Amino acid sequence: MFLTREEEGMLAGREGRATEKAMQILVALGKIYDAKRLVKVSSVQVSGVSYKNLGDAGLEFLDELADDGRARVRTTLNPAGMSLTDWEAQGIDRKFADKQLSVIDAYRRLGVEISCTCTPYLAGNEPRFGQHVAWGESSAVAYANSVIGARTNREGGPSALAASLTGRTPLYGLHLTKNRVPTFAVDVDALLASPEDFSAMGYFTGKLVKDGIPIFRGVRRANLEELKTLSAALASSGGVAMFHIEGLTPEYDLGGEMVESVLFAQNDLEETRASLNDEGTPDFVAVGCPHCSLTEVAELAELLDGRKVRREFWVCCSREVKRQSDNAGYSALIEGSGAKFATDTCMVVAPVEELGFRVVATNSAKACHYLRNAGLRVRFMPLEECVAEATRSP
Ligand code: F3S
């Protein structure tokens, strides 16, 4: 793989040990994927933040890098395993909290913005069409490639961090136009009336497409919240890093030879929704996977105004959206009902199973997928039903 003189210097350790290590990771990746060279990136989103997933080995790795490593491009952070300020109210134990705060401290020393959100594009890190980035949160990756038209592979924690410390990533995969063409057509003949319907369609499609690139045909409109949850669902039941919607997303007309096509009909939508519902009465309601937009927070404020929640209810969103919600007066209405904001974290990366909950109601197919994997039972329902469930008398 071709390296510039500056990149050779990084690899030879002339810019410190962390940069040397980062360059070794990128060169190894480049060789595996036959990249001809590295490409500069304009931003990085780092995943692998929750101590629940990192453990002590991950914390040590970060600490070592933070000795002399510094982010060279804007770098934002995925959610952590707890709220960084209100973790006690969330029921998180001190041992976990101390470890999680050490992880955050290492990222801070590395020059990473402690944004703790999976929707960086709603919190100031929004790339432009055609820009190369290195993002490491699967839902944000699918959103960036598909909705914004930025270019990123699905980075893991170490490769995203390596891109941050060098400002570069190997030029392969979705950084190249030829790899962004649709490979699988989904003909939609179902009524998509809400974000939850898009979430279910993504869940259905991800299972079939795996890591291919689907193009949805017959979808006439989709708003930000629908595209956000579609991105997340496609990337959870499958490994989809990019999708197109005919007539709507910026690169839908790249051409390409479709290898397969499938129909997504009304009964597929209903069966997928049903498949995400287990037995049991929810003892925990959580919305905001991916993190809520301000529009979703406003809708929640309207639904919860003057009502009281009767079971634990988390509204997961970024600090930035929470700040906007405070200013708009939505937070007071939400918190007045007894619901809690879960900023910096979410119902999946927080150790929810250790908090004693058994059945979780949520409006996200992605959250259902991972919560089930963690041994919890799930109920998939639209946002209004989540509120009705949370406020219902026991
Ligand atoms: Fe975000 Fe957590 Fe869902 S990181 S996409 S809210 S699993």
Residue whose Cα lies nearest atom 2 of ligand 1: it is 346
Asked if residue 92 has its Cβ within 6 Å of ligand 1, the reply is no
Atom of ligand 1 nearest to the CA of 139: 5
List of residues 6+ apart from 344 with CB closer than 8 A: 79, 80, 82, 83, 84, 85, 116, 117, 319
Cα–Cα–Cα angle for 84, 87, 89, rounded to 5 degrees: 140
Asked if residue 49 has its Cβ within 6 Å of ligand 1, the reply is no
Asked if residue 342 has its Cβ within 6 Å of ligand 1, the reply is no
Burial grade of 162 (CB within 10 A; 0-12, 13-18, 19 or more)? buried
Asked if residue 118 has its Cβ within 6 Å of ligand 1, the reply is yes
Residue whose Cα lies nearest atom 5 of ligand 1: it is 290
Residue 255: the pLDDT is: 83
Residue 258: the pLDDT is: 77
Kindly state the helix (H) or strand (E) to which residue 185 belongs, with its residue range: strand 184-189
Query: Kind of pairing, strands 340-343 and 359-362?
Result: unpaired
Its pTM stands at: 0.97
Asked if residue 79 has its Cβ within 6 Å of ligand 1, the reply is yes
CA of 371 to the centre of ligand 1 (A): 11
* Of the candidates 361, 367, 366, the residue with the CA atom closest to the CA atom of residue 380: 361
Cα–Cα–Cα angle for 86, 91, 92, rounded to 5 degrees: 80
Indicate the SS3 state at residue 223.
Answer: coil
Cis upstream peptide for 127 (omega within 30°)? no
CA of 290 to the centre of ligand 1 (A): 5
pLDDT, tens digit only, all 394 positions of the chain: 999 999 999 999 999 999 999 999 999 999 999 999 999 999 999 999 999 899 999 999 999 999 999 999 999 999 999 999 999 998 999 999 999 999 999 999 999 999 999 999 999 999 999 999 999 999 999 999 999 999 999 999 999 999 999 999 999 999 999 999 999 999 999 999 999 999 999 999 999 999 999 999 999 999 999 999 999 999 999 999 999 999 999 999 998 777 799 999 999 999 999 999 999 999 999 999 999 999 999 999 999 999 999 999 999 999 999 999 999 999 999 999 999 999 999 999 998 888 899 999 999 999 999 999 999 999 999 999 999 999 998 7
CA of 160 to the centre of ligand 1 (A): 17
Residue whose Cα lies nearest atom 3 of ligand 1: it is 289
Residue from 118, 234, 368, 370 whose mutation best tests the ligand 1 pocket (most atoms within 8 A of CB): 118
Q: Locate all alpha helices (DSSP H) within 305-343, ordered by sequence.
A: 319-328, 330-336
Asked if residue 139 has its Cβ within 6 Å of ligand 1, the reply is yes
Alpha-carbon distance of 83 to 85, in angstroms, equals: 5
Residue whose Cα lies nearest atom 4 of ligand 1: it is 118
Q: How far is CA 141 from CA 26, 153, 198, 350, 359, in A?
A: 18, 7, 17, 21, 29
Asked if residue 366 has its Cβ within 6 Å of ligand 1, the reply is yes
Asked if residue 316 has its Cβ within 6 Å of ligand 1, the reply is yes
Residue 360 is classified by DSSP as E
Asked if residue 136 has its Cβ within 6 Å of ligand 1, the reply is no
Query: Roughly how many angstroms between the first and final C-alpha of the chain, as a whole number?
Result: 63
CA of 232 to the centre of ligand 1 (A): 8
Residue 256: the pLDDT is: 77
Q: Tokens at residue 381, please?
A: 């329902």
CA of 297 to the centre of ligand 1 (A): 16
CA of 121 to the centre of ligand 1 (A): 14
Token pair 């979780």: residue? 360
